[in-house]
Structure 1
């Protein structure tokens, strides 16, 4: 059977389990947060307490007038020990999906958003020859339970990110700390190699990439075996590489070939490809041009270019020939006025692509709320809503940008 693509534009927000749920004690990320040294600034702990407050999250999505919510189903919750399935975790996701539908929200499911069961990481993670079949079993388990009510299934979140980070996006001290963290985890677990999906050492990037591709192809088959009409694909991190000189053009094209080269073939036959864009890099003779005085920048100091979203979508659509879903897009900043300006400037060019018949199926903003941002912990802010973590209430409060996004959705006809 052929996948049934959404018959309406998906306006949504994205989250990921480890970053919002809290308390996933069987996860590899939790294990890595607890070793010494750790690349993670602090443990996620209860994160945003979404495991308990997921209904509040769905109310936020509904309150913004959105019709879809992208969230991850956490393998470590469902199979905390190899071969032992926690039915209560599947029950939880079943309730979440029903909660979405009760509010008129289409659930978009991510099957692996970086975090893995610790037992799987202790077996070498995606470097393990048997990893694809183990992941396929998880996909079948999940979709057999909730696939009949989902609108999209995303197998992997940003499997190209390790390659992007290996192309100069991480300072050497961070690379060294990742290696030390992985070595400490391997020693603590008492195994030959403890390997995660988002703490990676440079010499294993190619092998990891190959593991992701194998697992993705197997997962697509598994999804279709259970839900033949459910659209399935993966999401790619995409930096909008551009240039200002001829040498800069060579550098930009070289980076594109390195970062995205394997993926057009890997996604052939999929129903869509996800694009996750946050930045643009403009290359001159010496590499990416840093932010100039007066330019808007994000919390990492990178300049903001609202046109990067539409550029990235156009590039990936042409590269793969597939329909596109913007599975993530946003800006890390404590300045919500900046976020408002960025949203207002970024979305209209995307809307024009849709009106020009580029097959863009939806837009999901990252993120619904300020959450745990991996090695930066809680020190960067992507949320349309804030979360009162310090006082222990975990109350959510929409920011002005939530209203801006709501108004754009309400006034845009697609």
Structure 2
């Protein structure tokens, strides 16, 4: 079988997110939600991986993997900690990261909203606020004015479809109850009628939040394009590879319609769509089928299936019809040998999708290092590197070297 092949200009990267890595994101909605009582968060982010201070070394690690791209997020809460007041210090910091990427041969892929928003914005109701699109677009414009001329791709939103996806995850009812209690506690603590956030959401808010994020995406894209018409802009979606055994097609198609299709159709007007894939789920006539006996399982309890990436990418392209960026892909497991064995067959499947006509522009592994995984705290392990919780020292796992060697094979000209 011939070796997998990728376009010469393919982007090979890793993905990270500000709140999950930087630490001390004290003016954000997520920080506030972590610190109310009760809270759905199992731990507080605290210093996270101390990425705010250690970013230069992290870029050296990325470059040392032989990659040519780095996806990271700009924290709106740091850039605009008080409504209408923009922080020169934060903008200087993110500009330095962009320039640091360029100096190391890394294409900067910037996410403008990776779940978190400013505390003041959440106090206004977040994406339920009629002025939310204008406020978000204004922030994006400030970021673009500072360093938008040097970034490679712009991602407006990270996984705006995640709330709908989680309704299919069969979570125990107490999770939704605790999310509701968290928002109620935050509203009381902030002295507002409705404190809302993009990553802790009640079901009755889904339609309004979706409408707000949709309008914000459109407004932000217009603002970004006004400043740089040639910059490719899109959004990134959480996408399982949903497949069906005979009789399960109706259930699978209903999930696709409820979770992905709205956003994929929206992405049809964008320059690309980001796909973030972690699992394949198999549906029968009565719903989700259990993992086969003896299957290797990920941290979500589902089968580790490398071919899920190919399936998710092919479906995204079939609906959206625009180029695909794999903006996240990985596996949650404390056993790094599973991760190390997972990468190559996943990339083989991605190469097959490309050979079959899907225009894929890049692949970003999630993630560079173990970090703060939102409501699950520091339990899940998805990194190519370990992080010492006291010293913040980064230690390479065997999977990092596997990825390095694969990219070297796929980029012989580098």
- The residue number in structure 1 matching 2:273 is 273
TM-score (ref. length: structure 2): 0.96
Kept in 2, the 8 Å contact 1:217–1:266? The answer is no
Q: How does 1:250-329 map to 2 (within 5 A)?
A: 250-329=250-329
How far the C-alpha of 1:300 sits from its partner, in A, is 2.2
Query: Which of 293-302 and 393-402 deviates more?
Result: 293-302
CA distance in 2, matches of 1:59, 1:26: 28
How far the C-alpha of 1:100 sits from its partner, in A, is 0.6
CA distance in 1, matches of 2:338, 2:180: 35
- The residue number in structure 2 matching 1:21 is 22
Kept in 1, the 8 Å contact 2:265–2:319? The answer is no
How far the C-alpha of 1:413 sits from its partner, in A, is 4.9
Kept in 1, the 8 Å contact 2:307–2:346? The answer is yes
Number of residue pairs aligned between Structure 1 and Structure 2: 406
Kept in 1, the 8 Å contact 2:8–2:411? The answer is no
2:402 paired with 1:404: yes
SS in 1 for 2:167: helix
Q: Rate the CA distance shift 1:193–1:21 in 2: closer, same or farther, 3 A.
A: same
- The residue number in structure 2 matching 1:3 is none
TM-score (ref. length: structure 1): 0.96
How far the C-alpha of 1:102 sits from its partner, in A, is 0.9
Query: Which of 258-267 and 108-117 deviates more?
Result: 258-267
How far the C-alpha of 1:170 sits from its partner, in A, is 2.7
How far the C-alpha of 1:261 sits from its partner, in A, is 2.6
- The residue number in structure 2 matching 1:368 is 368
- The residue number in structure 2 matching 1:358 is 358
How far the C-alpha of 1:16 sits from its partner, in A, is 0.3
Gaps of 5+ in 2: 1-6
Residue by residue, what CA displacement relative to the aligned partner does 1:332-377 show, whole Å, maximum 9, x if unpaired?
Answer: 0010000011112211110222234421000000001000000111
Kept in 1, the 8 Å contact 2:306–2:346? The answer is yes
Q: How does 1:11-410 map to 2 (within 5 A)?
A: 11-246=12-247, 248-389=248-389, 392-410=390-408
Kept in 2, the 8 Å contact 1:64–1:406? The answer is yes
Deviation >3 Å, runs of 4+ = none
Question: What root-mean-square deviation, in Å, do the aligned CA atoms of Structure 1 and Structure 2 show?
Answer: 1.3
Residue by residue, what CA displacement relative to the aligned partner does 1:131-184 show, whole Å, maximum 9, x if unpaired?
Answer: 000000000000111111111000000001011112344321111110110111
SS in 1 for 2:133: helix
How far the C-alpha of 1:269 sits from its partner, in A, is 2.1
Gaps of 5+ in 1: 1-5
Query: Which of 7-16 and 285-294 deviates more?
Result: 285-294
Kept in 1, the 8 Å contact 2:261–2:319? The answer is no
CA distance in 2, matches of 1:269, 1:285: 34
How far the C-alpha of 1:267 sits from its partner, in A, is 1.9
How far the C-alpha of 1:81 sits from its partner, in A, is 0.8
Residue by residue, what CA displacement relative to the aligned partner does 1:88-111 show, whole Å, maximum 9, x if unpaired?
Answer: 000000111111111111100000
Query: Which of 280-289 and 51-60 deviates more?
Result: 280-289
CA distance in 2, matches of 1:401, 1:331: 11
CA distance in 2, matches of 1:347, 1:173: 38
SS in 2 for 1:262: helix
SS in 1 for 2:168: helix
Residue by residue, what CA displacement relative to the aligned partner does 1:275-313 show, whole Å, maximum 9, x if unpaired?
Answer: 000011101122111222210111121111111101100
Query: Which of 53-62 and 261-270 deviates more?
Result: 261-270
How far the C-alpha of 1:53 sits from its partner, in A, is 0.1
SS in 2 for 1:35: coil
Kept in 1, the 8 Å contact 2:107–2:152? The answer is yes
